Structure 1
Amino acid sequence: MKRKEPIATDSQEPTQQNGRRQPQTSCLNCRVKKIKCDRGAPCASCVVRGISCTGQPGSKPAVVPQYGAADSNVDISILSRLASLERAVFGGARPMSDAINGNHGSSPSTGGLLQPSPATPTQFTAINTPSPASHQDTERQQAAKFLDSTHTENDYSVTTQVHRPHFHVAPVSSHLQLATKNTALTETSSRWVFVMTRDEALLLLGDFCGNPYHLLPIIYEPSARSLINAFYTQLEQGHEGDPTAAALILSIASTSASFFSYETSKHKIFASTEEANQASVAWRQAAITILDDSQFSTEGSLERCQARTIIAYVVSNVEGCSARYRLLHNCSLTIARDMSLHLVDSTTATGASDDPPTREIKRRLWWHLASTDWLLSLVGGPLDGTYTVQPRHFVVNRPRNLNDSDLSRNDEILTYPLHVLTQVSCFLQRIRLGEICREIADARAPGLLGVDITDFDTVSSLDLLFKKALAQMPPSLRKEGPIPQGAPLHFAQQRDLTLLCFNFRRARLHRPFLLHDTENSLHEASRRQCLASARTVLSISIEMLEEPSVVGPNQDLGNPLAYRAGLVISAMFTACAILALNAGLIWSRTKDDARTNDVSSELHSEITHACRVLAKLGEKSAFAANLVRNLVGVLEQYSVKGVDYLAPPPTRSNLNSEYGVGNGACSTYTARGRLQSVGDAMNVADNFTMWNEVFTMPEMEGYDQLFAGLDFYCGPI
């Protein structure tokens, strides 16, 4: 039979071979490589490889459209000119395919799940990026990235023989005594780590998830329970336990033990609060030992990053923003980057197989670390005015407003409006505060990172960020706001912590104008805001620390847990310093004015009560005792006389239990008797002349140095 001659439309295709009985359906490249072709024009295989696709008999729509389908009648030169023009205008931020398709990019911080408030610029955290579809790597690019990873991810270091730790399971009541006898290596080839029983570990996990005094929604309780059961099953079967899992278990247990109260606890794992403090220190040190020991350390993992983050929180409660805390925080950030936690929602994410709860926990963990990094830029000390997490350098959607019980539904789109209270409502407000702190750090003059902002217009514009954030909070998140039914347990305490965070930072923003000339109306407005925020901090913190009765010489602190939260202590410490210095300024300038003397006396009474509460904290918290002593030391350094009676010389042996130094990690904390004289002698109203000589310094730099000295002892939230 005579074959049909090819028509004109087939002239662009290669001449078919003689004897072909079926028309060609695959493109030439797919036929040569012998791979399946989707018969698109172009086909998906050629698009991914970045090569031209030829040989199809017709023009079928592409199954995987990587680029916008331009009109075939449009000249190629016109498209190239348009692309060049867009690159010149937008700087490469939008590819030509996005312009054709109308895709203007999306913010990786929101991902379309939570729309940021249009009135708050701080909500826009990440920068618009090109469409992910335009970033498909070719085979050669993938090979190049693989070769890059061989010397950045894999460990080729030559080390000695690895000796994994040996875990000894024992009840808490007996294992504290065992730990004191085996604090060092029992042999040159092994190390003993003492852990609680399985049941005790599960109870302590429940305490951690129900703790109202930390904003750490980075643990998914069902996954943590599975990890605990798997760890103890390994030990029961005679296998070596996973050190990373052990570190996470110990960090959770250390946090729960540090907030243990025998009167309010549902279980009696510990015989007393002192025993709980001893266990917290021992477990904290054991977890740090595991995480820092290079012999049995592994590559970055979610559990390792969670453990370091939790341990950093425990250390901040005990030491404030110390060098050890800063090191733990930076290590957590490094591990997070090693495991690509900053690319959770990127097209190149390595954890694409994670289930929805795990991905959401990763988002929370990354945003906790990022917001903490930004918050540290506004607490003074070595990190003042600096941060390391750049919004351009991560692609992580903002955590969704969900309860942990909603994560089990495996719905990637589900989220509640921000006015609906969930377990992460206060956590989301913490993220927003971190973004405000980042903008404050960016507003500082280049080269003056360690100097507070003293330009009033700049401070006023930055204060608007606080005003908008506080105004846009749901009514239930405001002080004295009604708490609706169905709100999370302990929501009132977490709301108070959130408000402490905002007012503490807002007072610090206005603090440079506190001691300026009060006749300047602009400075007066800033000074009033600083004092108002400081009073709010005092009001909230005292309410958290007291029952309805007023603190007296023979009364204990009403709340058995709030004094163990480092945020409450450091915020109250800063507020006391601000009000005391302001009252001393009024006292020294207006001694003979009867009207202002009445105002000064009222301030003195307010500070008297606050200082009594702060000194009372020192009887139970070594961190608070240290702040009282450091406050006195700094004021004495700047010629403040008559304050040495406020705090006696430090007795290091009495701080061993909480700080974990001295004779092992299980020494007994007996600071109550040591600081009893502090509470008895604290009568600031009768002895307020102690503040007078601080105001003899003529230069404003003296006050800046004074506050810088006080800032060093304050910790993050």
Structure 2
Amino acid sequence: MKRAVVPSDVVEGTRKRVRRQEPVSCETCRRKKLKCNRQQPCSSCVTRRLACIYGSSEGSHRTERESEQYSQSPPIELGNPSKRQDAFNSLPSQAPDSQPLRYNRESQMTADWLETIHMGDRVPTATPKSLRDELDELRNNEKSFPSDTLLPISGRSWTASQENPATISLLSYLPKEHEAIALFRYYTDFIDYMYHIIFPKKVEQQIHGVYRAIERKHPPDLNHMALLFSIAASSLYLQLSIESSIYAGICSREFSFLTGAALIQSYYSVNPTISGIQAATIIVHHASNMSCHPSVSALFSQGALVSQAKNLKLHCTDSPRYRDLKGISSVDAVELETRRRLWWDIASYDWFLGFLSGPQEWTYMVNPEHMKVELPLNVDDGMVDGSNRLSRPSSSPTDMSFFLERLKLGIVCREVIDATSYEHLKGLEVSYDKILKLDNKFRQALSEIPEFFRLDPTSRRRFASLYQKRPTLAWQRCLLQQGYFSRLCRLHRHYFIRGAREPVFSYSHIVCLQSARKVLAIKRIMDEDEPRFNPPSSVVWSVMHHVFMAAVILLLDVCFNWDDILAEKRKEEVLEACRMLSNAQQSSSLVKEGINAMMGVLQKHWQHGRLTTATGQQTQSLLQLNTEAVSLREPPHPALSSPETVPNSSTIKQDMPTDFPSNATGVDELQLEDIWSEMLDNSGNFAIEDTDWTGLLSELTNATLPYG
């Protein structure tokens, strides 16, 4: 056999390395084995909204350059808006010609799988028109961005949601460390007390851990990044809602998207973690998840929370089998309590949703017979350690007092569903005896709440010093009481009008009126008593939702009893509630949108209320004028309390302008009281049927209902 001829460029048995030909297809097409049209960018990358990279030398050094660029960014001074703005603009951004961040080959393969298989039908091929319109408005708006916000974002192009969540460079959108801590402090001071599903000290350590990993040029924990992004989304949403609904919505949407992107890149769907579930739960409770990008919105639904909690075996936390598998002596006390808090928060939220109008009404997903989880300890966070496993009595105020009392209310709501779901789903009328028994359950639970959560003058004076020392307790007592009376009113509202006509149901009529007046009285306590709500209660949408529903109950009573001897006094009650709503409209742009969303429902029913007189026709014209003058596009996420606070975008006309006209300041507030005054003056001409007003109350709840 003829020996192969050795090329002349072989020296001492070593072949000379021949330079490899540069690839003609982009890296993404070569990796995915797709046909590349070799344009810049190619059509395949444009369709998938990916960075189109030619050549292979650039990508390998991206992570290192990104970390160096981040660490060399100048510090941002929160006290100086101009300096912090310039510094923030210098943070690294996702350049159009950069390659997505990859930590290792395994994460790259998993991200590709998520994109092509799991997320394929959810990743859109173009930016949603609503986001394009809002971003254009943000860029063209002459009004400067609020200067006292925690995170300076003016002038920065927030377009994270245009990218693929499985491949987006998360470090490019990470705030500076001291900014992240400032957002975290705002969350713990003004938001966390609503649900308290975290241990602040531990979460703060996790946030610092993210930045220590970046300094060492190590990949940070993606679940901890998701938790950081969720806290940023909720903090900015609340703070910016006082300034502008546009900015609040965009910031919340972008950080919610980054939260979902971090969860996707951490394989959260197949490998959930405690931090990941905390991040998703915070978005569900506190951020504007109604406008979340479709590629991540599925992560923030109530069904997803329940499913992931079960995947993590939260419902088996205290079962003997789980303890044997994990070894109860080796379980960290903080982790154990976190698991219990998360599970009971998810379960109670599920039961609250079941007692609200909407698609989930009269049903729930968490069956108490299919779980074994002890209640969280009634102790302060600092007292949770391996040596202390004893819970303090409910009469002792702790960080967990409100959590546990709210859970008791959720259990009562679940019992209402169990007792009445058959009749409601079958279209049968619930017997009045059953309503009275359920009323007793609410009364019993309400009578058992600790004294420091009561609102009678004696208790308020007795615990005044405690409220000054722990102001969150003063706020929590109001939220708890509002929650009880609003749901007690809901229990009886089917018999509300019948109770004014038929003596056998008179108790329900009295309870609804008493509950509505209690809700309004509690709002006055929030506004007048010390310590004051911070932020003010008027910017908390759940509070104003309760006020609006109470005002409608009183309005309906005037309409159906317009010739009552106390009609004038009742009209003044309604107008006082209307003034609360008007003041709230001036306090928060997002609350303003929520009020107008509910006003749209009320106007629709009133316009169809068969107003037959000439005065009634004038009222209808005024209502129509107000509808044209005061328009909205997206309602706020209440996110700060009860589930009924989240707006339903299906009730809002998508072709209306986003914000109110600049010259409308004082017009919509003035017309709000004018409209209610006209409705009261013409209450005798209101010819709505019984079945219509029950539909009105349901639609008012649906106007701000979460699908999560």
Q: Which TM-score bucket, shorter chain as reference?
A: 0.5 to 0.7
Q: Which of 577, 594, 604 is residue 623 of structure 1 equivalent to?
A: 594
CA contact (8 A) 2:234 2:252 kept: yes
Aligned residue for 2:33?
none
CA contact (8 A) 1:212 1:494 kept: no
What does the per-residue CA deviation read over 1:484-528, in whole Å, with 9 as the maximum and x for residues that have no partner?
645634211111111111111011001111111524333111111
What does the per-residue CA deviation read over 1:140-160, in whole Å, with 9 as the maximum and x for residues that have no partner?
xxxxxxxxxxxxxxx9x9983
Amino acid at match of 1:477: F
Helix, strand or coil at the partner of 2:390: coil
Aligned residue for 1:401?
378
Judged with a 3 Å threshold, the aligned counterparts in structure 2 of structure 1 residues 531 and 189 are, in CA distance, closer, same or farther, namely: closer
Matched, 1:199 2:170: no
What does the per-residue CA deviation read over 1:570-602, in whole Å, with 9 as the maximum and x for residues that have no partner?
212211221111111111xx2xx6x24444444
Q: Which of 635, 649, 662 is residue 606 of structure 2 equivalent to?
A: 635
Offset at residue 398 of structure 1 (A) = 0.9
- Cα separation, 1, equivalents of 2:199 and 2:534: 28
Matched, 1:378 2:355: yes
Helix, strand or coil at the partner of 1:516: helix
Matched, 1:707 2:704: no
- Cα separation, 2, equivalents of 1:376 and 1:450: 20
Amino acid at match of 2:274: L
Matched, 1:185 2:166: no
Q: Which of 335, 339, 358 is residue 358 of structure 1 equivalent to?
A: 335
- Cα separation, 2, equivalents of 1:471 and 1:657: 31
Task: Let me know the Cα RMSD of the aligned residues.
Answer: 4.2
Helix, strand or coil at the partner of 1:437: helix
Matched, 1:510 2:492: yes
Helix, strand or coil at the partner of 1:366: helix
Q: Which of 304, 310, 313 is residue 276 of structure 2 equivalent to?
A: 304
Q: Which of 258, 264, 274 is residue 237 of structure 2 equivalent to?
A: 258
Aligned residue for 1:683?
674
Aligned residue for 2:539?
564
Residues 550-699 of structure 1: matches in 2 within 5 Å?
560-587=535-562, 590=563, 595-613=565-583, 615-616=585-586, 619-621=589-591, 622-639=593-610, 642=620, 643-648=623-628, 651=631, 674=664, 676-681=666-671, 682-684=673-675, 686-689=677-680, 692=683, 695-698=686-689
Aligned residue for 1:208?
187
Judged with a 3 Å threshold, the aligned counterparts in structure 2 of structure 1 residues 527 and 196 are, in CA distance, closer, same or farther, namely: same
Helix, strand or coil at the partner of 1:518: helix
What does the per-residue CA deviation read over 1:187-230, in whole Å, with 9 as the maximum and x for residues that have no partner?
99644551211222222222222226752211112211221122
Matched, 1:458 2:434: yes
- Cα separation, 2, equivalents of 1:432 and 1:361: 19
Helix, strand or coil at the partner of 1:687: helix
Judged with a 3 Å threshold, the aligned counterparts in structure 2 of structure 1 residues 421 and 559 are, in CA distance, closer, same or farther, namely: closer
- Cα separation, 1, equivalents of 2:703 and 2:581: 17
What does the per-residue CA deviation read over 1:591-643, in whole Å, with 9 as the maximum and x for residues that have no partner?
xx6x2444444444444434534554674533333223333234335546623
Amino acid at match of 1:609: R
Aligned residue for 1:387?
364
Matched, 1:328 2:279: no
- Cα separation, 1, equivalents of 2:160 and 2:493: 50
Higher relative contact order (CA 8 A, sep 6+): 1
Judged with a 3 Å threshold, the aligned counterparts in structure 2 of structure 1 residues 242 and 650 are, in CA distance, closer, same or farther, namely: farther
Judged with a 3 Å threshold, the aligned counterparts in structure 2 of structure 1 residues 614 and 508 are, in CA distance, closer, same or farther, namely: farther
- Cα separation, 1, equivalents of 2:224 and 2:421: 45
Identity %: 23
Helix, strand or coil at the partner of 1:401: coil
Judged with a 3 Å threshold, the aligned counterparts in structure 2 of structure 1 residues 189 and 368 are, in CA distance, closer, same or farther, namely: closer
The answer to which structure has the higher helix fraction is 2
Offset at residue 183 of structure 1 (A) = 5.3
Offset at residue 422 of structure 1 (A) = 0.8
What does the per-residue CA deviation read over 1:251-279, in whole Å, with 9 as the maximum and x for residues that have no partner?
1122222333899xxxxxxx999867654
CA contact (8 A) 2:423 2:430 kept: no
Matched, 1:230 2:220: no
Offset at residue 708 of structure 1 (A) = 2.0
Judged with a 3 Å threshold, the aligned counterparts in structure 2 of structure 1 residues 560 and 230 are, in CA distance, closer, same or farther, namely: closer
Matched, 1:496 2:474: no
Amino acid at match of 1:469: A
More moved, 495-504 vs 176-185: 176-185
Q: Which of 410, 425, 429 is residue 405 of structure 2 equivalent to?
A: 429
Judged with a 3 Å threshold, the aligned counterparts in structure 2 of structure 1 residues 468 and 452 are, in CA distance, closer, same or farther, namely: farther
Offset at residue 317 of structure 1 (A) = 9.2
- Cα separation, 2, equivalents of 1:362 and 1:478: 29
Offset at residue 441 of structure 1 (A) = 0.5
More moved, 378-387 vs 600-609: 600-609
Offset at residue 311 of structure 1 (A) = 0.1
Amino acid at match of 1:692: S
CA contact (8 A) 1:244 1:304 kept: yes
**Higher gyration radius (CA):** 1
CA contact (8 A) 2:355 2:413 kept: yes
Helix, strand or coil at the partner of 2:558: helix
Amino acid at match of 1:677: V
What does the per-residue CA deviation read over 1:356-401, in whole Å, with 9 as the maximum and x for residues that have no partner?
1110111011111111111111121111111111111110001111
CA contact (8 A) 1:477 1:495 kept: yes
- Cα separation, 2, equivalents of 1:633 and 1:284: 33
Q: Where in structure 2 are there 5+ consecutive unaligned residues? A: 1-106, 116-148, 612-618, 639-646, 650-656
Residues 81-92 of structure 1: matches in 2 within 5 Å?
none
Judged with a 3 Å threshold, the aligned counterparts in structure 2 of structure 1 residues 519 and 693 are, in CA distance, closer, same or farther, namely: closer
CA contact (8 A) 1:205 1:253 kept: yes
CA contact (8 A) 2:351 2:364 kept: yes
- Cα separation, 2, equivalents of 1:599 and 1:338: 56
Aligned residue for 2:144?
none
- Cα separation, 1, equivalents of 2:572 and 2:635: 35
More moved, 650-659 vs 438-447: 650-659
Judged with a 3 Å threshold, the aligned counterparts in structure 2 of structure 1 residues 459 and 173 are, in CA distance, closer, same or farther, namely: closer
Q: Where in structure 1 are there 5+ consecutive unaligned residues? A: 1-154, 164-170, 264-270, 549-556, 662-666
Judged with a 3 Å threshold, the aligned counterparts in structure 2 of structure 1 residues 181 and 372 are, in CA distance, closer, same or farther, namely: closer
CA contact (8 A) 2:381 2:399 kept: yes
Residues 161-180 of structure 1: matches in 2 within 5 Å?
177-180=155-158
Helix, strand or coil at the partner of 1:515: helix
CA contact (8 A) 1:316 1:566 kept: no
Matched, 1:530 2:512: yes
Amino acid at match of 1:370: A
Offset at residue 355 of structure 1 (A) = 0.4
What does the per-residue CA deviation read over 1:146-178, in whole Å, with 9 as the maximum and x for residues that have no partner?
xxxxxxxxx9x9983679xxxxxxx97565544
Aligned residue for 2:218?
239
Amino acid at match of 1:446: Y
Amino acid at match of 1:536: K
Judged with a 3 Å threshold, the aligned counterparts in structure 2 of structure 1 residues 221 and 466 are, in CA distance, closer, same or farther, namely: same
CA contact (8 A) 1:213 1:497 kept: no
